[in-house]
Amino acid sequence: MANLPDAATCYELLARMALIRRFEEEAGRQYQRARAGGFLHLAIGEEATIVGVTSVMRPDDFLIGTYRTHGHAIARGTEPKRVMAELFGRVDGTSGGRGGSMHIFDAEKRFMGGYGIVGGNLPIAAGISLASQYKGEDAVTVCMFGDGASNTGNFGETMNLAALWKLPVLFMVENNLYGMGTSVERHSAQTDLSKKAEGYGIGGERLDGMDVVAVREGVAEGLRQAREEQRPTLLEAFTYRYKGHSAADPEVYREREEVEEWQEKDPIEQFARRCREADVLGEREVEQARAAAEEAVKAAVEFAEASPEPALDTMYENLYAQTEPGGWYAVDERSPEPHRGEDEEHMPAAARELAEAGAAYAEQSAGERHNPATHGERPNPAAERDVQEGEAEGVQAPDREVGDEGEEVRADRGEGEG
Ligand SMILES: Cc1ncc(C[n+]2csc(CCOP(=O)(O)OP(=O)(O)O)c2C)c(N)n1
Ligand SMILES: [Mg+2]
């Protein structure tokens, strides 16, 4: 077993994991209460993998992830309140409220997203690391993705170029044993995912993704190889998501006992126990880490609630790259004429009316949200839709539960995908 780092580092690792856990629990709760919209994918249980990776990265290294990356951004140093505001669709969110849960992005912290397309972040990681190499910088790009993503065409294409061009990149498979409801054995012929890039000339290693220290050690070496020897690596961290694939998942593909078995190896509990037993941290410090997480998440919710929704007339901002002053142009310039959505000034009346009707609806529902009589009781329309789709496929309807403020909330079961 890898040695524990010094006390200050142990405290930081514990506090970061506790913060992410608490943030994710609260994000789930706010989603049930319809404060956060769209889809929501939680990484509860995967904190040691996330923090193990980021804790050995340099500030100038790049990180790119998937749609399950609230924790990744927080681990890189993005303020939790800005991540929460993004979930709430508010202007102070990391993407001005336009990205939502799946598209957290913070260029300043070199956290490059947040991608909804499975495997779509791999070639982008190759591009980012190619840019570093081209500019003669020694930053490494870390690309994190799921076991399911290792089956995409993007995986093979990216591994080939990364090896061929000796890119300063580190690939990390967060193997949580499932791609949605499909287990690794059912979706990948090669189940040792660390070997999956060998044919392209990229070696790998398997790590215990529930042990933050083991992840740190493996990643530190992978970063060194990428930085000093221009040698990409493929690491596989075994981890587990305690919650469903997204906030609406009936979890018919796994047994409750399996979840409980993994919960016994909880990365935060396990690490706190180890630090206490080794006398590196005391009970007081462990408690302090938990209290600090609680405080930060409470402040994040307050901040997100107070942040305004984006104004209607900013709807088309930040959608296209502005290549010349005075006009908007798509990045795809197939012809000099503006493409759909680019000339919003001259948008047909019908589209404008539609947008205004949408805004009126949003205002009305915001009014309902702020009405104490209905406060907290409105089900999340996205979750509602998922459940209906699930029911249509013969999936069991979600349970109802009573929230801690007495309101009826949606239980974390249903069907749907983001
Ligand atoms: C190209 C593509 N195909 C399918 C989907 C639908 N989809 C979303 S998440 C997911 C499962 C991916 O599993 P994995 O890569 O293991 O990541 P995890 O969700 O376990 O973190 C699928 C199939 C998608 N978003 N993109
Ligand atoms: Mg997976």
Assign 407 a pLDDT band (cuts: 50, 70, 90).
very low
Residue pair 100/38 in contact (Cβ under 8 Å)? The answer is yes
Index of the ligand 1 atom closest to the CA of residue 241: 20
- Give residue 7's pLDDT: 98
Half-sphere exposure (Cβ direction) of 405: Cα atoms closer than 13 Å: 10
**C-alpha angle 140/144/148, rounded to 5°?**
145
- Give the burial class of 28: count Cβ atoms within 10 A of its Cβ; 0-12 exposed, 13-18 middle, 19 or more buried: middle
Q: Give the span between the Cα atoms of 267 and 320, in whole angstroms.
A: 41
User: Is the Cβ atom of 68 under 6 angstroms away from ligand 1?
Assistant: yes
User: Is the Cβ atom of 144 under 6 angstroms away from ligand 1?
Assistant: no
Note whether residue 319 is domain-resident: no
Q: Give the span between the Cα atoms of 111 and 78, in whole angstroms.
A: 9
Note whether residue 315 is domain-resident: no
172-197: burial string, b at 16+ Cβ within 10 Å, e else: bbbbbbbbebbebeeebeeeebbbbb
Instruction: Name the strand (E) or helix (H) holding 50.
Output: helix 47-54
Percent of the chain at pLDDT exceeding 70: 78
* Ligand 2 centroid, distance to 48 Cα (angstroms): 15
User: Is the Cβ atom of 172 under 6 angstroms away from ligand 1?
Assistant: no
- Give residue 335's pLDDT: 61
User: Is the Cβ atom of 267 under 6 angstroms away from ligand 1?
Assistant: no
Note whether residue 23 is domain-resident: yes
Q: Give the span between the Cα atoms of 373 and 228, in whole angstroms.
A: 61
- Give residue 394's pLDDT: 32
Beta bridge partners of 111: 63, 106
Tokens coding 276: 């206490």
Residues with C-beta atoms within 5 A of ion ligand 2: 146-147, 176, 179
User: Is the Cβ atom of 116 under 6 angstroms away from ligand 1?
Assistant: yes
- pLDDT at residue 329 above 50? no
Substitution candidate for ligand 1 out of 180, 182, 236, 249 with most atoms within 8 A of CB: 180
Tally of domains in the chain? 1
Index of the ligand 1 atom closest to the CA of residue 150: 15
Note whether residue 195 is domain-resident: yes
Strand 204-208 versus strand 233-238 pairing type: parallel
Q: Give the span between the Cα atoms of 396 and 408, in whole angstroms.
A: 19
Q: pLDDT digits over 23-53, tens only?
A: 999 999 999 999 998 999 999 999 999 999 9
- Give the burial class of 257: count Cβ atoms within 10 A of its Cβ; 0-12 exposed, 13-18 middle, 19 or more buried: exposed
Q: What is the pTM of this model?
A: 0.82
The answer to which of 36-45, 125-134, 174-183, 387-396 has the lowest mean pLDDT is 387-396
Look up residue 143 and give its DSSP letter.
Answer: E
Q: Give the span between the Cα atoms of 150 and 281, in whole angstroms.
A: 38
User: Is the Cβ atom of 147 under 6 angstroms away from ligand 1?
Assistant: yes
Index of the ligand 1 atom closest to the CA of residue 246: 19
Mean pLDDT of all residues in 158-186:
98
**C-alpha angle 258/264/270, rounded to 5°?**
145
CA dihedral 129, 131, 133, 136 (to 10 degrees): -140
- Give residue 349's pLDDT: 66
- pLDDT at residue 414 above 50? no
Of 86, 84, 153, the closest CA to residue 118 belongs to 153
Index of the ligand 1 atom closest to the CA of residue 118: 26
User: Is the Cβ atom of 148 under 6 angstroms away from ligand 1?
Assistant: yes
Note whether residue 384 is domain-resident: no
Index of the ligand 1 atom closest to the CA of residue 116: 25
Mean pLDDT of all residues in 355-376:
61
Q: pLDDT digits over 230-270, tens only?
A: 999 999 999 999 999 998 899 999 999 999 999 999 999 99
**C-alpha angle 207/213/218, rounded to 5°?**
45
Point out the ligand nearest to the CA of residue 46.
1
* Ligand 1 centroid, distance to 139 Cα (angstroms): 28
Tokens coding 219: 């990643």
- pLDDT at residue 117 above 70? yes
Index of the ligand 1 atom closest to the CA of residue 179: 13
Substitution candidate for ligand 1 out of 101, 102, 118, 172 with most atoms within 8 A of CB: 118
Note whether residue 297 is domain-resident: yes
Cα–Cα separations (whole angstroms), residue 18 to 77, 80, 131, 315 = 14, 12, 34, 36
The range of the structural domain enclosing residue 49 comes to 7-306
Tell me what the pLDDT averaged over the chain comes to: 86
Of all protein residues, whose CA lies closest to atom 3 belonging to ligand 1? 118
* Ligand 2 centroid, distance to 241 Cα (angstroms): 8
More confident residue, 248 or 126: 126
Of all protein residues, whose CA lies closest to atom 18 belonging to ligand 1? 146
Half-sphere exposure (Cβ direction) of 23: Cα atoms closer than 13 Å: 35
Residue pair 45/207 in contact (Cβ under 8 Å)? The answer is no
Note whether residue 349 is domain-resident: no
Assign 344 a pLDDT band (cuts: 50, 70, 90).
low
The answer to which of 41-45, 46-50, 290-294, 347-351 has the lowest mean pLDDT is 347-351
Note whether residue 175 is domain-resident: yes
Mean pLDDT of all residues in 315-342:
58
CATH number of the domain that residue 119 is part of = 3.40.50.970
